[in-house]
A and B are shown apart, each in its own frame.
Chain A
C-alpha cells in the first residue's frame, strides 16, 4: 500500500512570486507519481506525471516537479504564479501493480494574493 503526505494544507503566495508545494510519499514498491489541480466546482486535471527517467518533470501551465527517490518526495514548483493558479493541488501515487487505484494526498490550497 502507498500513502501520500502533502505537508501544507494552505499556501498563500503573492502574484508573480515563486511557489513550492510539498509532497512526500511512502511505498514498498516502485511508484508512479502525479500532480493534479482542481478548480472550484470542477473535476481534477492532470498537471504532470513521473513514470521513469529524468527526475525533473515539466507539466502544463508552467509547473514542474522533481522526483527525489532518497527523500521520497515529489515537490511541485512554479517560478511565477498568477491569480488564475488559485486552486486545490493534489499529489497522487500509484503502485506499479496498480491494484489500489490512485492514492491522493489531502490537497494543498494555493491562494494567490494580488
Chain B
C-alpha cells in the first residue's frame, strides 16, 4: 500500500505570495490532517478534514486554509506569505474517524519564504 504522498517536497516563495501544497492520503483513508513543524514552535496542528468537511482547526490565522476533495486528496493554501511561515508542512491520514486512530505521516513539504 502506498504511503501518504506530499508534493512538492521543497518550495521557495517570496514574502507576499501565496502557495498551495498537496497531499494524497493512503488509499481508503478519509481523514487528512495538516501540521506545521518549525524549530521554535515544534509541531502544531493546523486542521483536519474528513469526508470533504473541516472537522477541527488549530490556532492559525485565516491566511491558512485547506480543502479536501471527493477522492480524499487534500490541499493546503497559505496566502500573503510571511517569513515566519517557513516550515516543514506535514500531512497525515488515518483510516477511521475515531480520535485514537494512529496518524500516518507523509515526508512533508519544506517551504522557505524569502
Binding site for B on A (CB under 8 A): 32, 34, 36, 41-46, 49, 51, 90, 92, 94-107
Contacts and interface: CB of A to CB of B under 8 A. Distances in A.
B108 A98 contact: no
B64 interface: no
Interface string B92-109: 100000111011111110
Contacts, number: 61
A101 B56 contact: yes
Interface of B: 4, 33, 35, 42-45, 47-48, 56, 58, 90, 92, 98-100, 102-108
Chain B interface secondary structure, helix, strand, loop or mixed? Answer: strand
Nearest to B41: A106
Contact of B99 (A90, A96, A104): A96
